[in-house]
Amino acid sequence: MRRIVCIDQNWQFLKADISPEQAAANAARGETVSLPHTWNAADGQDGGNDYHRGNCWYIRRLTAEEITAETEGERLFLEVNGAAMSVEVYLNGRKITEHRGGYSAFRADLTDFLDRSEGAENMLAIAVHNEENDTVYPQKADFTFYGGLYRSVNLIAVPEAHFELVKDGTPGIRVTAEVDLEKKSATVTVESWQNAPEVTFEVNGETRTVPSADGHARAEFVIENARLWDGIDDPYLYTAAARLASGDEVSTRFGCRVFACDPEKGFFLNGRSYPLRGVSRHQDLKGKGNALSLEDHKKDMEIIREIGANTLRLAHYQHAQEFYDLCDENGIVVWAEIPYITLHMAKGRENTLSQMRELVTQCANHPSIAVWGLSNEITAASAVNEDLLENHRLLNDLCHRLDPTRLTTMANVFMLETDSPILTIPDINSYNLYFGWYLGELDQNDEFFDEYHAKYPERCIGFSEYGADANPAYHSSHPEKGDYTEEYQALYHEHMLKLIEARPYLWATHVWNLFDFAADGRDEGGKHGENQKGLVTFDRSLKKDAFYLYKAAWNRKEAFVHLCGKRYVNRAEEETEIRVYSNQPAVSLYVDDVLTASQEGRTVFSFRIPLSGEHYIRAVSGDVQDSMIIRKAAEPDESYIFNKAAAAVTNWFDAEENDPACFSIMDTLGEIRQHPQAGAVIDAMMAKSAAERGDVADAVKDNPALQRMMARMTLMSLLKQSGADEESIRQLNRILQGIKK
């Protein structure tokens, strides 16, 4: 028998970089906390890039009840499901183990370190740290690296003969189901690792006892007429179990399914075309950080089901087992990855390999997982050199060796040239593109994929990230890139949805991101410390209009109509647009209870109505409807504008006399740069902003693809997004107006 005792309660937390001895001596002075816990729930979400990154201690007295052996020879293991980012574990002052990497589970055998004598104290002390270093990923990325013991901690008591618990945090059992779609059967291979001479496996009511050689046992089962794990329609799960004569037992759920990927036709599930269309998710919640409860995970999954996604990219690291379980149960096809991100570190290779070994070992039984992601935007702040290539080859080979059944991929940054040798390493490719948000225009996304697909028709290509920030407080009838309005985000995604629907060869597409999330280094769009590309706000309380666009396109089960612009109440215009997203074929619009228009269409419906005062708007389709109030305003509502300076600039620029023979802020960077004097003005300005906002500027420097892109942007569009104030923009324009073209 295996006993699992959750020890999430009664920890003493010390936010101090002290020695193990000092920690033990000061335990009583700690704050009593329960797990999951992060020390960055507040300071990691409020901006300023100043959250506590350092060493902290979690100390807990193990009670006699928790550690007393019930049978002779019983061993007691510690299981830590997530401790960010690096950990050293001590029991009674002796170091038991250490772990590098904040997202995978690890276990350690405590038995020989326990003092089981009457009245003895057994103090477990875990040093957890998230300080900056050059060996453990992630170190540079657009999210908060929360520190803490942020998933459950358990004690696991097992008989002397037991399944392996320590090596790479293995579940001890591994199931591989190979499906023959023609014969409708599945060959299920079950393996286990143990210190016992034989193992009894059970699959689908059939049992088989086999010998164990060198600690490894294996048996094959055939399931005739296998019920498939068939995506969101029917994610059927089987269970496999392994038992030892000692009574130890492990089990896992598994699914019978076939994934395939075609460069021309995209993704296939169980032999049928199954385009993967969905979103990305961070494990992050307002006020809680990464310390999520099972309820929080379930709530996220409900929202994922509501939008109708059939795939998730679980970025940028290993997520909680509970969440992969939810994906299994809900038929969501998953991209799982390690936090090998942004910056390749010369001393980080071993850590990428250990994090990948753990990810694959701990997650391989989940039928939902389709691909292993090797890295994310790794060339954003690193050159493609031999060390980086070698690191990727090793990761790729490791994945294939540990799991011959799944494909590998990586998410590439838009400025990586498509002929880069790195693209030949993983099985299938993917790009993160932000044209129409950070840089460039929306159409450049379409152009990119068309060119790539034409140039590399034999490669599978996916769209691993795209998105635009929106603060639901901001609104406009003339949405523009960089204005952070809910309307621009919606317009951006309308474009992207069309792009995607017209390109079935894209094996997967993932909106970045389903939820706003913490990036303590950010300060933009009216919020501190948040990336607002979410379709849903950080606290999950508000679904932005763009959420309903995807719901209209993907959710086939729940009929609905959604009126856009509910928060855009005061409108200073004679006539206004009413946009409706719906998965129904026709929508009727009522203004002040009078039927104004009916429209047939798909997903997006648009109406124009005159404004005279306060109006009650209702959109109706069959049994479903939505309503809102809007108002004619005399003046534009200032509270809807994020960058008031930029809005003002456009006004005065139009009004003022600008000499077209001289440079101005409306010229492109390419034009300005060609002139030595005007170019120098720009360079000085960029150097200043580089000093202020390191990350973005770093990436631009010395990058030809990015430079080309920037050359096409007007200086004004760059300034708008930078949040520069009106006076500095005016001054810059005055300087440029003094330089003849």
Tell me which residues touch ligand GCB (CB under 6 A).
Answer: 141-142, 316, 376-377, 432, 465, 512, 531, 533
Q: Which is nearer to ligand GCB, 376 or 471 (CB)?
A: 376
Tell me: cis bond preceding 583? Omega within 30 of 0 counts: no
For the CB of residue 12, give the shortest distance to ligand GCB in the complex, in Å.
34
Locus of tokens 């901001």: 474
Catalytic position from the list 79, 202, 358, 377 = 377
Name beta bridge partners: 260: 268
What per-residue string of b and e applies to 6-35 under the rule 16 or more CB within 10 Å gives b? ebbeebbbbeeeeebeebbeebeebeebeb
| CB of 438 vs ligand GCB, minimal distance in Å | 7
Task: Give me the torsion for CA of 732, 733, 734, 737, rounded to 10°.
Answer: 130
Burial label for 638, CB within 10 Å (0-12, 13-18, 19+), is exposed
What is the separation, in whole angstroms, between the first and last Cα of the chain? 83
- Both structure tokens of 495: 């474009």
- Residues 392 and 390: their CA atoms lie apart, in Å, by 5
* List of long-range contacts for 211-219, beta carbons under 8 Å, 24+ apart: 215/164, 216/191, 216/192, 217/191, 217/192, 217/193, 217/242, 218/189, 218/190, 218/191, 218/192, 219/189, 219/190
> Which of 105, 518 has the CB closer to ligand GCB?
518
Sign of CA dihedral 153, 370, 433, 138: positive
Closest CB to ligand GCB among 201 and 512? Answer: 512
Q: Which is nearer to ligand GCB, 256 or 468 (CB)?
A: 468
- Nearest alpha carbon to residue 569 among 631, 486, 646: 631
**Residue with smaller CB distance to ligand GCB, 141 or 549:** 141
Question: Cβ of residue 414: shortest distance to ligand GCB, in angstroms?
Answer: 8
Token pair of 419 as six digits: 């002929």
Minimum distance, C-beta of residue 376 to ligand GCB, in the bound complex (Å): 5
Helix or strand holding residue 81 (H, E): none
Rounded least distance, CB 403 to ligand GCB, Å: 24
DSSP bridge partners of 76: 157
Nearest to 570 by CA among 611, 529, 534, 622: 611
Query: 432 or 664, CB closer to ligand GCB?
Result: 432
Tell me how far, at minimum, the Cβ of 198 lies from ligand GCB, in Å: 48
- Quick one: 67 or 416, whose CB is closer to ligand GCB? 416
Distances, alpha carbon 470 to alpha carbons 315, 436, 478, 491, 532, in Å = 20, 13, 14, 11, 6
CB of 725 to ligand GCB, least distance (A): 24
Q: Catalytic: 160?
A: no
**Burial readout 232-267 (b: 16 or more C-beta within 10 A, e: otherwise):** beebebbebbbbbebebbbebbbbbbbbbbebeebb
Q: Which is nearer to ligand GCB, 377 or 494 (CB)?
A: 377
> 648 or 697, CB closer to ligand GCB?
697
State how far the Cα of 462 lies from the Cα of 409, in Å rounded to an integer: 9
- We find the least distance from the C-beta atom of residue 366 to ligand GCB, in angstroms, to be 23
Q: Least Å distance between CB 485 and ligand GCB? A: 17
Q: Report the alpha-carbon distance of residue 166 to residue 97 in Å, rounded.
A: 11
Q: Which residue is nearest to ligand GCB (CB)?
A: 142
Q: How far apart are CA 222 and CA 183, in angstroms?
A: 11
Residue with structure tokens 């501190």?
A: 528
Query: Between residues 512 and 640, which has the closer beta carbon with respect to ligand GCB?
Result: 512
Residue 541 beta carbon to ligand GCB: minimum distance, rounded to whole angstroms: 21
The alpha carbon torsion through 522, 526, 532, 536 (nearest 10 deg) reads 150
- In this structure, are residues 326 and 298 in contact, taking their beta carbons and an 8 Å threshold? yes
Which helix (DSSP H) or strand (DSSP E) does residue 443 occupy?
Answer: helix 443-455
Q: Taking Cα atoms as reference points, which of 442, 463, 438 lies closest to residue 699?
A: 438
- By annotation, the residues acting in catalysis are 377
